[in-house]
Amino acid sequence: MTKVCIIGDVGHFSHAVRAAAESDSLCISAVSDGVERAGCEKAFKAVSECNPSAKRYADYIEMLDAEKPDIAVVNPYCAYNARVSIECMRRGINVFSEKPAAVTLAELDALREAHRASGVAFSTMMAIRYTPHFAAAKRAVEAGAVGEIRLMNAQKSYRLGKRGGMYLDRRLYGGTIPWVGSHAIDWLYWISGKKFSEVYARHSSMANRGHNDLEVSAICGFEMEDEICATVSIDFLRPASAPSHDDDRLRVVGSSGVLEVRGGRVYLINENGEQTLENAEPVNIFGEFVKAVEGKPCDAVSAEDSFYVTEACLRARESADTGKSVKF
């Protein structure tokens, strides 16, 4: 039996809860509050429904030392992801972390070093990789559907609603580029298989409807290997009347075709004409991470990918903060 503990409930702990509900070999034994007023009420309620004997702790260190889990699901306020993950790694506990994995480059360096020294598995919650439409897009590009990639455009658009907690204080959530934009930046890297060379970014908190520090619009322009040009558009300005909370899009322009992901489907035009591609089967990201912990073949987001995408996000945020382009 693989024992799991959850720290905080700011992020997407539900990946682990769903996996545990569908598996006889996973047990979420306990949940703890996060750091600095980050509670765990939602997570504890969800876990208790599938494991009534689950415990609740006020202090995550106490929980780790008492429960000695195999895996820690880390989702306090974003500013504490790295600190909490390092505490887990020092105890030999595998870490499934909310993104961004760190909110400063110094923290990211410390996290990388802790991971190297620990020998445990580490992954971030880049779950959109596993949705049927994005998985289908990846499969098509790998099969050569668009030829050589030359240009990529990614979009993350969310409803704002009324948000509290970490969203009101950038010190706690790290900025909209690392928090929301991380998914789109990950698509560029994951779909193309190419690294970043330079980024020029901008962000703004104007029109954020009283949400203090929250940046509600941002754009990033990346130069990638092989002279691939790539952009990311991020906003919290999707109207409340929109039919869905989010509007995720990706456009991949290649030497022999164009692929677009929008509305949960994948559209391709190339020498074979226009077609709508068949979506892939859905996959639970936490289930893949458990396979990685167990040493089984899997498609988990690697520690290396997690750290690299985090670095790209932080360099993009640096560019937006300073108004200068940043090289990798």
Q: What is the pLDDT along the chain (328 residues), one digit of tens a residue?
A: 999 999 999 999 999 999 999 999 999 999 999 998 888 999 999 999 999 999 999 999 999 999 999 999 999 999 999 999 999 999 999 999 999 999 999 999 999 999 999 999 999 999 999 999 999 999 999 999 999 999 999 999 999 999 998 999 999 999 999 999 999 999 999 999 999 999 999 999 999 999 999 999 999 999 999 999 999 999 999 999 999 999 999 999 999 999 999 999 999 999 999 999 999 999 999 999 999 999 999 999 999 999 999 999 999 999 999 999 999 9
The enclosing H or E element of 133 equals helix 132-142
Instruction: Label residue 262 exposed, middle or buried (CB < 10 Å: 0-12, 13-18, 19+).
Output: middle
- Other CB atoms closer than 10 Å to residue 37's CB: what's the count? 11
Q: What is 128-283+311-327's CATH topology?
A: Dihydrodipicolinate Reductase; domain 2 (3.30.360)
2-120 shares its CATH topology with 128-283+311-327: no
* DSSP symbols for 54-98: -EEES-HHHHHHHH--SEEEE-S-GGGHHHHHHHHHHTT-EEEEP
Yes or no: domain 2-120 corresponds to CATH 3.40.50.720: yes
Nearest to 203 by CA among 170, 162, 228, 229: 170
Structure tokens at 69: 């889990």
79 in Cβ contact with 107 (< 8 Å): no
Domain limits, the chain: 2-120, 128-283+311-327
Tokens at residue 202, please? Answer: 């901008």
